[in-house]
Amino acid sequence: MDSTIFEKINSLDPNKDIVALKKAANILKNDGLVAFPTETVYGLGANALKDDAIKKIYVAKGRPSDNPLIVHIADKNDIYPLVDSVPKNALILIEKFWPGALTIVLKKSSIIPKTTSGGLDTVAIRMPNNNIALALIKQCGFPLAAPSANTSTKPSPTLASHVYNDLNNKIDMIIDGGKCDFGIESTVVEVFEDSVNILRPGSITKEMLQSVVNNVTIDKAILNNNLNILAKSPGMKYKHYAPFGDIFIIDGNINNIISYILNCLEEDKKNNIKSIVIASDETIKNYSSFNTLNIGSRKDLHLIAKNLFNLLRECDTLNIQKIYIESFLEEGVGLAIMNRLKKAANYKIIKV
Ligand code: TXA
Ligand code: MG
């Protein structure tokens, strides 16, 4: 592959950069790969309806081919040709949350290739709330399949530079649209006539879904932390979000957490292990004689979600071998934060 084109596009008014936007759309029309910003994380886009284009995504990311992709559309009505039917529950969710960070899984129509759906007879669809993403899909005139634009197993990218670090020279173009608003991937739900099941928690929480539809459940694979339960969202079973260093989540009473982490940092120092603690506004001063990264205030879980992947990548830049992080309550957005953290830590949770 020739070197990757890197272009900034105005995130408030993408049409101000119409030349770059058209360049990106042309690449996609020729079955190429373009990374673009969404409000959650950067996506790696390809024509969702073309087998040849989709295959390139799996190769560039090193992604297992049974892990299906999310199809991104620019207008709510564009869902109809892609699915068998749209149940009433799905319509309610679309009305309330699109454009936005909610991905809806429904029975697919025949125009979705099996490569896009990872061999499943369902398809995951979302309308992103990002001007560049919407303008790009409109320029293309077809939906874009877009997984997060990271190398498989690495933390999802929240900046164009993260995409560059992972995928430079492996894809045709990267659009730089600044930092993603949410920093954590969309909530994925499967929707039935009379119930909704959360397959991947995100910033649209169970409580928010419950405010408009009945019978919202959280999939067992999320709650049980058990990799052996066959995950219905195939992506959830793979190693994910992991920096090079080992992550340890420390859970329990906050004073116990702090003293446990201080002990570990002290031990690591003696053993010449480069370690760090990811702490919050509320606790960071306790670790002042060690390496620290501040994830934000515990009172603002959205900010913590926004910073999480960025800080995990920062640990790689600093060549950190061991990362200690204080746990968060699994409520509201905290469920999504802990879900990503547990995977990043390969379920190494220490109760104190
Ligand atoms: O926020 C997001 O969702 C980002 C941006 C770019 O839109 N995309 C993203 O895509 O996170 P990806 O491929 O990294 O994650 C897609 C998730 C995976 O866990 C996958 O298994 C699940 O969605 N998924 C996709 N299609 C599915 C289907 N038909 N049934 C169940 N789960 C599905
Ligand atoms: Mg991903």
Crossing angle of helices 160-167 and 301-317, in 10° steps, is 40
Cα angle: 22, vertex 23, 24; to 5 degrees: 90
Specify whether 207 is located in the same domain as 251. Answer: no
> Counting every residue, how long is the chain?
352
Q: Three-class SS of residue 62? A: coil
Specify whether 279 is located in the same domain as 191. Answer: no
**Percentage of residues in the chain having pLDDT higher than 70:** 95
Specify whether 251 is located in the same domain as 219. Answer: no
Question: 243 falls in which pLDDT band (50, 70, 90)?
Answer: confident
Specify whether 53 is located in the same domain as 178. Answer: yes
Specify whether 302 is located in the same domain as 336. Answer: yes
Last residue of a domain, one of 208, 223, 238: 223
Mean pLDDT within 66-87: 96
User: Domain for residue 209, yes or no?
Assistant: yes
338: CA distance to ligand 1 center in Å? 18
Closest ligand to 115 CA? 1
Q: Find, among 179, 216, 199, 229, the residue nearest to 336 by Cα.
A: 199
User: Domain for residue 69, yes or no?
Assistant: yes
Closest ligand to 198 CA? 1
User: Which string of DSSP letters, residue by residue, matches 129-196?
Assistant: --HHHHHHHHHHTS-EE--BSS-TTSPPPSSHHHHHHHHTTTSSEEEE--S-SS-SPPEEEEE-SS-E
Q: Does residue 199 line the site of ligand 1, with CB under 6 A?
A: yes
Question: 235 falls in which pLDDT band (50, 70, 90)?
Answer: low
Q: Cβ–Cβ contacts within 10 Å for residue 193, how many?
A: 8
Specify whether 114 is located in the same domain as 181. Answer: yes
Cβ atoms 104, 90 nearer than 8 A: yes
Closest ligand to 118 CA? 1
Q: Does residue 307 line the site of ligand 1, with CB under 6 A?
A: no
CATH code for the domain in which residue 97 is found: 3.90.870.10
User: Domain for residue 336, yes or no?
Assistant: yes
For ligand 1, what atom is nearest to the CA of residue 44? Answer: 6
User: Domain for residue 239, yes or no?
Assistant: no
Specify whether 262 is located in the same domain as 302. Answer: yes
Cβ atoms 299, 332 nearer than 8 A: no
User: Domain for residue 72, yes or no?
Assistant: yes
- pLDDT tens digit sequence for 288-323: 999 999 999 999 999 999 999 999 999 999 999 999
Q: Does residue 343 line the site of ligand 1, with CB under 6 A?
A: no
pTM of the model: 0.94
Q: Check pLDDT > 50 for residue 79.
A: yes
Mean pLDDT within 84-102: 97
- pLDDT tens digit sequence for 166-216: 999 999 999 999 999 999 999 999 999 999 999 999 999 999 999 999 999
Q: Does residue 68 line the site of ligand 1, with CB under 6 A?
A: yes
**Percentage of residues in the chain having pLDDT higher than 90:** 90
Q: What pLDDT is recorded for position 130?
A: 98
Last residue of a domain, one of 223, 238, 269: 223
User: Domain for residue 93, yes or no?
Assistant: yes
Specify whether 268 is located in the same domain as 216. Answer: no
Closest ligand to 154 CA? 2
User: Domain for residue 240, yes or no?
Assistant: no
Which residue segment(s) compose the domain that 310 sits in? 246-351
Specify whether 172 is located in the same domain as 276. Answer: no
In which region does residue 185 sit, left (phi positive, over 0), alpha (psi from -120 to 50) or beta (all else)?
A: beta
Each as own residue / partner, the long-range contacts of residues 267-274 (CB below 8 Å, 24 or more positions apart, any chain) are 268/321, 268/322, 273/321, 273/322, 274/318, 274/319, 274/320, 274/321, 274/322
Cβ atoms 197, 217 nearer than 8 A: yes
Q: What pLDDT is recorded for position 326?
A: 96
Integer Cα distance of 332 and 201 in angstroms: 9
Q: Find, among 215, 236, 218, the residue nearest to 227 by Cα.
A: 236
Integer Cα distance of 250 and 246 in angstroms: 13
Specify whether 253 is located in the same domain as 214. Answer: no
For ligand 1, what atom is nearest to the CA of residue 40? Answer: 1
Domains: count for the chain: 2
Q: What pLDDT is recorded for position 228?
A: 45
Integer Cα distance of 297 and 94 in angstroms: 31
Residue to mutate, 188, 222, 227, 333, ligand 1, most ligand atoms under 8 Å from C-beta:
188
Strand partners, 34: 45, 173
Integer Cα distance of 31 and 34 in angstroms: 10
Specify whether 83 is located in the same domain as 124. Answer: yes
Mean pLDDT within 47-65: 95
What radius of gyration, in Å, describes the C-alpha atoms of the chain?
Answer: 20
Last residue of a domain, one of 191, 223, 255: 223
Question: 284 falls in which pLDDT band (50, 70, 90)?
Answer: very high
User: To the nearest whole number, what is the mean pLDDT of the chain?
Assistant: 94
323: CA distance to ligand 2 center in Å? 21
Q: Does residue 186 line the site of ligand 1, with CB under 6 A?
A: yes
Residue nearest atom 32 in ligand 1 by C-alpha distance = 233
Q: Does residue 120 line the site of ligand 1, with CB under 6 A?
A: yes
Residues measured by CB to lie within 5 Å of ligand 2, the ion: 148
Question: 229 falls in which pLDDT band (50, 70, 90)?
Answer: very low
Q: Does residue 148 line the site of ligand 1, with CB under 6 A?
A: yes
- pLDDT tens digit sequence for 316-333: 999 999 999 999 999 999
CATH code for the domain in which residue 274 is found: 3.40.50.11030
User: Domain for residue 185, yes or no?
Assistant: yes
Specify whether 75 is located in the same domain as 134. Answer: yes
